[in-house]
Structure formats: structure tokens, C-alpha cells
């Protein structure tokens, strides 16, 4: 069996040893010996040793009440340290002769392959320059770690990098390891869990911090590498104003079911983004002023600088003064709503133009080497981030718009909008959109709910267009949902285009997405209001919760196909916005494979997707890792555009249709139709306790009720904690088993070999099944679930076993992930620390439910730490 790389193993061992030293120092050798007995017992139990299992259980049973919290913290911290070591290993120094990781070479290799396919060099350069990839940072983090801890983890990674040199002297090595010991001790002595939920503004600041600490550095580095790859393959450079990757955010704009996100919050977040952008660019400009001391300049620059002896500095000092004015005004405007003075920068062109003038002057005067340094990096940041840092999306549930329109029509005495059919709604909305008079009199006094909708629209109308992304309508059903938002924005005074984006989330809505957009594009006047592409958002999380991942995945695929064909027939460009989560159950998985598995024609140089929760830190938290992931996005979107996957064969479609039909039946027979399911779910998982975890600013439920009222994240998170992983595979076991029974095994294998959509789904399914563990799930049942409900748990574990058997038949393997022994060994290493956490969590849950402990008690803290530890051990949770 292949082993984990020796350097990774060494770093994991080192960090574990440093943690052990810290624990010994605080809690003594006797407590540390208990940790070691638990670890060795867990390791033995995993290998089938009865003695190991007995040692594990006896040591855990012997823990005193005051030892539960530190013991839980110990295993949680080790898993976090293992994550740091794994993250650093992705970007470690390569030794001579060692190949570069795929992420680094993906774009260059693809460009050479595309040339081999007959694409002209000029065409390829144009395509790369025209790419539009937008990553939307979302604020429902299952990232439970406090920001202060994340900063310490980043510092530990930096010390691992400092240690990764073969020529370090003994004194240098000792200094680094002492610094590591201190950082590990600081992390151990820092409380892991936030005591209170973050506000939406705090979430937005967390997103800005990711940009400041990582993406600000990573993005120009990626574009520099892209430029080099283009130059090598085509002889051409990336255009100066190209911004193939940009960022948007839902943090402070996503008000769907979150009463804490108000119009005032969105306005504050927009201003904070302007403050942060001005502050970051100020640092850049100060550095350029120090560097660009030369005197020779173009006539245009000399004229602009007033014939200064240091023309570059003179021009940049003027820009610096305007950035200072912009930064200072943004803070005052938050507190006092002050209008912007004339010096404030309002348009990205005002920031870009003087920098471009300096750039062209340096090149014209033989100083291109200087121009292509920090100045070029700043210009790349201007193109990607600009004065507004990230574009803020606004998201609201369609029901809130319907309620607002109903209140308005009732006030106007023309009926009840919410009781009208689609045609009557469309007629009213079209008439009002074409009408020049206001819809409402100034003395209209709306209810608080409608007032908030109208005030949000006013914030949109008053904000600069470049500061906003899209207005996303959750749970959209049809064309009237889009026109209602357009009318509300018109009423608020919006006089510029804004993308209004229907989000199709349930199975029925995905199936109706094509007809809904067909109707929308055919409405008189709609095309005149549509500036740019028609954006449509595809919901992954809620469609999977509604129908299971089998049926949801196929509905998402078919909806995209239909939308591509409809927009092509209407000669309208299409932008698909993918609402993907971090986990398989929420449509997550490796981004590169996911993009290449989209329907042909759906990635036409454009790709917009959400990046959520803890995945933001795992993918973009460190600059080097961010560079790798951004490079992968570039390569995947270019490949999917120019070398789209093949159309599925007709018999593959038939098979997929039947798989979806059987999958949704199997999923809903349990989740919707089993009378005991909701009660079993609440007893067997920490779902109720998760409501007390300060995960994010929004509630865990949209409303009171059963599974349908839960958000997708706690739904996934709860099952992940017990290792049943139910939402990611339920339905597949029935669908695949039925197909195999029909004798379609060879066809399924052929589909996996030749159809990227199907192979990606099977690969993600295999990965999540490898993380699932029926024995651990059974342990939760035995300790927490009443006897009358336990047969349901046994049935679900039997279904899990059926899913594993079916996947093994399709992949023609004897064991899950047999093709990736290194991954299996990594899972094995983590299980040694996860198994005790699961056992402690079941006990903590049982005690918590019996004692009804207050939130701040050691018992509740230990429970929350166990949740965080299991989340860290499994990496993607919600």
C-alpha cells in the first residue's frame, strides 16, 4: 500500500508532539497518558483488535466530568493541526526533479493540448483574455473556528514553510521549532468556539479579511503565471485590462430567511468594502511612490505632472490623496450618512487611468522591466477588485416580493396580487414597468416587512452600479418573480440595468426552469431591459434536500441543457450561476471535475459559482493554495468552453432518467414518507444541538417544522457528525441496485468511462461513502435513539451497505478508493482521532439531553468542541 508522503507524516508527527508537550505542561503526564491510551485503543479497534476496543472504551468511561472538555479539545486540536500540515503539503517546496503539482501546470498543459487540437494562437490568447469567472463568497459558514485561531493556524503554516529547507543550520531549525511550539501553545490556550453568533457585518469583514490576507496577493500572481503560460504557448500577452477572475459576495446581502440582514446592513457593507478597497490600494500606491523615482517620462505624463522632476511620484501622490479622501469618507458615511465630497473616487476609471499612464510611459521610455513589476500587479488588482472590492449580490425569497406586491395592490384597491394567476400578474407588471408615473404615492405607509423590501431596493438604486452584482430571487417559480423585482427596483428609483436572477431550487422548479425562461424572454419589452447575458441560478443544496442527489443532479443537468438551447434560440447570451456547497450532499466536490462535467455549451467562457463556509478557508485562506485553486478554475473553464464534454448517448439518457426516478422514490420514501423519520433524525444526530452552535448570522431554520423547514447546511452537517452521510447517497442505493438488477451493469460502467457528468457523480459518491461509517452511526443509535426507532437506523445502515456494493460493481473494485491507497491511509490516520471524538460526542449528547445544561457549561462547551473537531476531521461539513 502506498504511504502518505514522508514529509507530510513528519510534519503531522511534529505538530502532534508539540501539542502533546503543551498538554503535558498544563495538565500533567497522567492526563497525557490517558490521551495516548485512547489513541492507541482507537487505532487497535480500527484494526479489529478486541483489546484495543476495550482499552478505548474503558479509558473513555473512566474520564472524570472535568476531563471531558480538555480531552475533547485535545483530539479536536490534533485534527486541526493535521489539516494545517495537509494544506501546507499542497504547496510545499518541490525538490530538484520533483514534478510540479497538477494545479500549477494545468493551464500551460491545456494550452499546448488546445494548439494540438488545431486552435490558432491568437484565438487562444483572445479566449483567455475574455474569460469571466466570478467566485461568490457566501456567509453561512460551518467554519466554527474563531478568527483569532485561524490567524494562529496560518502562522503555523508559515513556520512549516520556513522549516522546509534542507540547508538550515541547527540554530535556525531550533528557532523555528521554538516558534512553532509557542504557536501551538497559543492555539491550545485559545478558546475554539465563538461565544456568540457573528453579525452579518462581522461575516462580511471575515470575507474582506480573506481578500486582504490571501486573495490580494494570490490573484496578481495567478495572472502573472497565466501571462507567462500564454506567452510560452502563443507568443501573446494577457491584456492589461483583462480580469478573468473576479469576486462577489453574499455577506451582508443574503437576506433569504435571515432577518438580521437589513437594508441598513447592506448599505454599511457596501461602504465598508469601499473603505477596505481604498485602504488596500493606498498600501500599493505608497509602495509605487517609493519605487517610481525615475525622471524620464512620456510627454503626456510630463504634461499631467506639471513638468515635475519626479513625474511618476507627482501623479501617484495626487491619486494617493484621493484614496485617502475616499477611505475617510467611507467611514464617516457609515456613521453619519454624509454625501461624498468631490475628491472621492467614484469610478474605477479614475483609479485605473493614472496607473495606466505610468505603465505606458515606463514602457515607452525603455523601463518595461519596472512597469511589469509591482505596477502591473496593482493594475491587475484594479481590474479584478476595483474601488468596490467585491460586488455585493442581494438575495431575497420570492415570497417576500409576492407579499409586498399583494400589499401594494390591496392598497391601490385593484385586488390581491398573491391570489392572481401567472398571466394576470404578468399583465399588471408589464403595464406598470412601461408606465412613467410612480406606482405608489409618497404617503404610502407599508408594513415593516414591505418597508424593508422597498428600502433594500432603494439601497440598490442609490449604490454605484459597479458595487453590485445580481439581485437573486430564491425559490423562483416563473417569469413574474423576475418582473416583480424589476418593478420594485424601478419604483425605488433605479435607472440603470441590474441583473435580476431567478434561482430555481426544488426539483419541480428545476424541471420548469426552461419554460419559465422561455416565457420571460418572449415577453414584450423584457429584452430591452436585459443588458448583457440572461443570468439564471441553479440551486444544488435545496434541490438535493428536496429530491436526493440522484434526481437533483440529473434535474440540474437537464435544466442547464434546456436553458442553453432556449437562450441560443432567442439569440441571448446565458450566464449560469451555480449555487454549490462544500459537500457532495450540497452539490460540492472538486471544482475542476465539476466544471468539466457540465453540459456542453453551458460553460461558454463564463462561470459563476458560490464558495461557501469553511471551504473558503480551505481553498483560499493561504495565498499559495489560493493560487492553485484559482489556476484550476481558469484551466477548467477554458477547457469546458473549447473542449466541451460529449453529448450523452440516447440510451445513457434513458438510464439516467430511470436512475433519477428510482432515486427520488427511494429518497422520499424515507425522508418524506416514513412516519418516524423526523423523530429518528432528531434523536440520532446533534441537529437540535447544532441550533445552539454559533455558526453564522442566520437561523438554522427558515420556519418551524420538520426536515423541509431546515436549511440545507444543518441538514447535511447533522448527518456528517454521525458519519451516516445520509443526504449525499440516499436514493443512489435504490437507483443503482435496480439498474444492476435490470442487467445494465456494463452500460453503467461505459457511462462512467465516457460521460464526465456520470463519472464525476460516481467519483463523488465513492468519496463520501468512504467517509461514511456504519459502525459509528450505530453507536449513536445505541446511546441516543429509543428502542422503537432503532429499526429505522438499521434499515438506513443496510441501505448504506447496498450503496457501497452498487458503487463497487459500477467501479469494478473490491474496495472503495482502491485506486487511491494514499487517500485511504489519510482517512485511516484521521480515524484514530475521530473515533474517540464520536464516542465522546455520543456520551456528551446523552448527558446534555438528560441534564439540560446551560450553554456556557463545560458539558455544552465540550459538546460544541466535539462538533468542531469532527467537522475538522472530515474537512467539508456543510
| Contact (Cβ atoms closer than 8 angstroms) between residue 280 and residue 286 | no
Measured in degrees and rounded to the nearest 5, phi and psi for residue 583 equal -105, 165
Contacts for 268 with CB less than 8 Å, ≥ 6 apart: 201, 252, 334
In 3D, which of 606, 640, 596 has the Cα closest to residue 759? 596
Instruction: Report the SS3 class of residue 599.
Output: coil
Return the DSSP state at 254: B
Q: What is the 3-state secondary structure (H, E, C) of 735-799?
A: HHHHHHHCCCHHHHHHHHHHCHHHHHHHHHHHHHHHHCCHHHHHHHHHHHCCHHHHHHHHHHHHH
Maximum alpha-carbon separation in the chain: 88
Beta-strand (E) ranges in 112-167?
Answer: 132-138
Catalytic-residue membership of 140: yes
Return the DSSP state at 532: S
Q: For the CA atoms of the chain, what is the radius of gyration?
A: 28
Segment 744-750 long-range contacts (CB within 8 Å, at least 24 positions apart): 744/655, 745/809, 745/810, 747/651, 747/652, 747/655, 748/655, 748/810, 749/810, 749/812
| Contact (Cβ atoms closer than 8 angstroms) between residue 572 and residue 579 | no
Catalytic choice (140, 152, 401, 592): 140
Could you count the other beta carbons within 10 Å of the beta carbon of residue 482? Answer: 27
| Contact (Cβ atoms closer than 8 angstroms) between residue 805 and residue 813 | no
Catalytic-residue membership of 661: no
C-alpha–C-alpha distance, residues 598 and 761, integer Å: 11
In 3D, which of 249, 268, 247, 206 has the Cα closest to residue 381? 247
DSSP state letters, 699-747: -SBSSSSSGGGB-HHHHHHHHHHHT--HHHHTTHHHHHHHHHHTT-HHH
What's the grid cell of residue 868?
Answer: 468542531
C-alpha–C-alpha distance, residues 267 and 460, integer Å: 9
Residues in the chain: 878
In 3D, which of 619, 615, 827, 582 has the Cα closest to residue 716? 582
Task: Tell whether the torsion through CA atoms of 139, 143, 149 and 155 is positive or negative.
Answer: negative
Instruction: Report the SS3 class of residue 818.
Output: coil
Contacts for 864 with CB less than 8 Å, ≥ 6 apart: 144, 193, 689, 692, 693
Catalytic choice (545, 578, 619, 771): 545
549-569 vs 650-671: helix axis angle to the nearest 10? 130
Known catalytic residues are 140, 545
Amino acid at each position: 500500500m502506498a504511504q502518505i508522503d514522508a514529509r507530510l507524516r513528519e510534519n503531522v508527527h511534529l505538530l502532534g508532539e508539540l501539542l502533546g508537550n503543551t498538554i503535558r505542561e498544563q495538565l500533567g503526564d497522567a492526563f497525557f497518558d490517558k490521551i495516548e491510551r485512547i489513541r492507541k485503543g482507537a487505532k487497535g479497534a480500527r484494526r479489529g483488535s478486541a483489546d484495543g476496543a476495550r482499552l478505548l472504551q474503558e479509558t473513555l468511561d473512566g474520564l472524570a466530568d472535568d476531563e471531558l472538555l480538555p480531552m475533547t479539545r485535545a483530539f479536536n486540536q490534533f485534527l486541526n493541526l493535521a489539516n494545517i500540515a495537509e494544506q501546507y503539503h499542497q504547496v510545499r517546496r518541490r525538490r530538484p526533479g520533483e514534478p510540479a503539482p497538477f494545479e500549477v501546470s494545468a493551464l500551460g498543459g491545456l494550452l499546448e493540448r488546445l494548439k494540438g487540437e488545431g486552435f490558432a494562437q491568437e484565438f487562444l490568447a483572445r479566449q483567455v483574455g475574455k474569460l469571466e469567472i466570478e467566485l461568490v463568497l457566501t456567509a453561512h459558514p460551518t467554519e466554527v473556528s474563531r478568527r483569532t485561531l485561524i490567524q494562529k493556524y496560518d502562522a503555523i503554516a508559515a513556520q512549516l514553510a520556513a522549516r522546509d529547507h534542507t540547508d538550515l543550520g541547527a540554530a535556525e531549525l531550533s528557532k523555528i521549532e521554538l516558534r512553532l511550539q509557542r504557536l501551538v501553545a497559543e492555539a491550545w490556550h485559545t478558546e475554539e468556539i465563538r461565544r456568540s453568533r457573528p453579525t452579518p457585518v462581522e461575516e462580511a469583514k471575515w470575507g474582506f479579511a480573506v481578500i486582504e490576507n490571501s486573495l490580494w496577493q494570490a490573484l496578481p500572481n495567478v495572472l502573472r503565471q497565466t501571462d507567462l503560460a500564454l506567452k510560452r504557448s502563443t507568443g501573446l500577452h494577457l491584456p492589461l485590462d483583462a480580469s478573468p477572475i473576479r469576486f462577489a459576495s453574499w455577506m451582508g446581502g443574503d437576506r433569504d430567511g435571515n432577518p438580521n440582514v437589513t437594508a441598513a446592513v447592506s448599505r454599511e457593507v457596501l461602504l465598508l468594502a469601499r473603505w477596505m478597497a481604498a485602504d488596500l490600494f493606498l498600501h500599493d500606491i505608497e509602495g509605487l511612490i517609493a519605487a517610481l523615482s525615475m525622471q524620464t517620462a512620456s510627454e503626456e505624463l510630463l504634461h499631467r505632472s506639471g513638468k515635475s522632476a519626479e513625474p511618476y511620484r507627482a501623479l501617484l501622490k495626487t491619486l494617493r490623496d484621493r484614496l485617502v479622501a475616499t477611505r475617510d469618507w467611507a467611514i464617516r458615511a457609515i456613521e453619519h450618512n454624509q454625501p461624498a465630497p468631490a475628491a472621492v473616487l467614484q469610478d474605477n476609471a479614475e483609479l485605473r487611468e493614472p496607473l495606466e499612464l505610468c505603465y505606458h510611459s515606463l514602457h515607452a521610455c525603455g523601463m518595461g522591466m519596472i512597469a511589469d513589476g509591482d505596477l502591473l500587479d496593482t493594475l491587475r488588482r484594479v481590474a479584478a477588485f476595483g474601488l468596490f472590492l467585491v460586488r455585493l449580490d442581494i438575495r431575497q425569497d420570492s415570497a417576500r416580493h409576492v407579499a409586498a406586491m399583494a400589499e401594494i395592490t390591496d392598497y391601490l384597491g385593484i385586488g390581491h396580487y398573491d391570489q392572481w394567476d401567472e398571466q394576470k400578474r404578468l399583465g399588471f407588471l408589464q403595464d406598470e414597468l412601461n408606465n412613467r408615473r410612480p406606482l405608489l404615492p409618497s404617503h404610502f405607509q407599508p408594513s415593516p416587512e414591505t418597508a424593508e423590501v422597498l428600502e433594500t431596493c432603494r439601497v440598490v438604486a442609490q449604490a454605484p452600479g459597479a458595487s453590485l452584482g445580481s439581485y437573486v430571487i430564491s425559490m423562483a417559480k416563473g417569469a413574474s418573480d423576475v418582473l416583480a423585482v424589476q418593478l420594485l427596483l424601478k419604483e425605488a428609483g433605479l435607472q440603470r440595468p441590474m441583473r435580476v436572477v431567478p434561482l430555481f431550487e426544488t426539483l419541480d422548479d428545476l424541471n420548469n426552469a426552461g419554460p419559465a425562461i422561455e416565457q420571460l424572454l418572449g415577453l414584450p419589452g423584457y429584452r430591452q431591459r436585459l443588458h448583457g447575458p440572461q443570468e439564471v441560478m441553479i440551486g444544488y443544496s435545496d434541490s438535493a434536500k428536496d429530491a436526493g442527489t440522484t434526481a437533483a443532479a440529473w434535474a440540474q443537468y437537464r435544466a442547464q441543457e434546456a436553458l442553453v438551447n432556449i437562450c441560443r434560440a432567442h439569440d441571448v447570451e446565458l450566464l449560469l450561476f451555480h449555487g454549490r456547497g462544500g459537500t457532495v450532499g450540497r452539490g460540492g466536490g472538486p471544482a475542476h471535475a465539476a466544471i468539466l462535467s457540465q453540459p456542453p455549451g453551458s460553460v461558454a467562457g463564463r462561470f459563476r459559482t458560490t464558495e461557501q463556509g469553511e471551504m473558503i478557508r480551505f481553498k483560499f485562506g493561504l495565498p499559495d493554495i489560493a493560487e492553485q485553486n484559482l489556476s484550476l478554475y481558469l484551466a477548467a473553464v477554458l477547457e469546458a468552453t473549447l473542449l466541451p464534454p460529449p453529448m450523452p448517448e440516447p440510451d445513457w439518457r434513458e438510464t439516467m432518467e430511470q436512475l433519477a426516478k428510482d432515486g427520488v422514490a427511494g429518497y422520499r420514501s424515507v425522508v418524506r414518507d416514513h412516519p418516524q423519520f423526523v423523530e429518528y433524525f432528531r434523536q440520532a444526530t446533534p441537529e437540535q444541538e447544532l441550533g445552539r452552535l454559533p455558526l453564522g448570522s442566520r437561523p438554522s431554520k427558515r420556519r418551524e417544522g420538520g426536515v423541509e423547514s431546515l436549511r440545507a447546511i444543518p441538514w447535511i452537517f447533522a448527518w456528517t457528525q454521525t458519519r451516516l452521510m445520509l443526504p449525499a447517497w440516499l436514493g443512489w442505493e435504490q437507483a443503482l441496485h435496480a439498474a444492476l438488477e435490470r442487467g445494465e451493469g456494463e452500460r453503467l460502467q461505459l457511462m462512467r468511462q465516457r460521460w464526465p457528468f456520470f463519472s464525476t457523480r460516481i467519483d463523488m459518491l465513492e468519496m463520501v461513502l468512504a467517509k461514511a461509517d456504519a459502525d459509528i452511526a450505530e453507536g449513536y443509535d445505541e446511546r441516543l435513539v429509543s428502542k422503537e426507532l432503532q429499526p429505522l437506523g438499521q434499515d438506513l445502515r443496510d441501505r448504506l451497505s447496498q450503496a457501497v456494493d452498487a458503487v463497487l460493481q459500477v467501479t469494478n473494485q473490491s474496495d472503495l478508493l482502491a485506486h487511491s491507497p494514499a487517500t485511504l491511509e489519510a482517512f485511516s490516520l484521521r480515524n484514530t482521532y475521530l473515533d474517540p471524538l464520536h464516542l465522546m460526542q455520543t456520551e456528551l449528547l446523552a448527558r446534555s439531553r438528560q441534564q439540560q445544561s446551560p450553554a456556557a457549561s463545560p458539558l455544552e462547551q465540550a459538546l460544541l468542541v466535539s462538533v468542531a473537531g469532527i467537522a475538522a476531521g472530515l474537512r467539508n461539513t456543510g
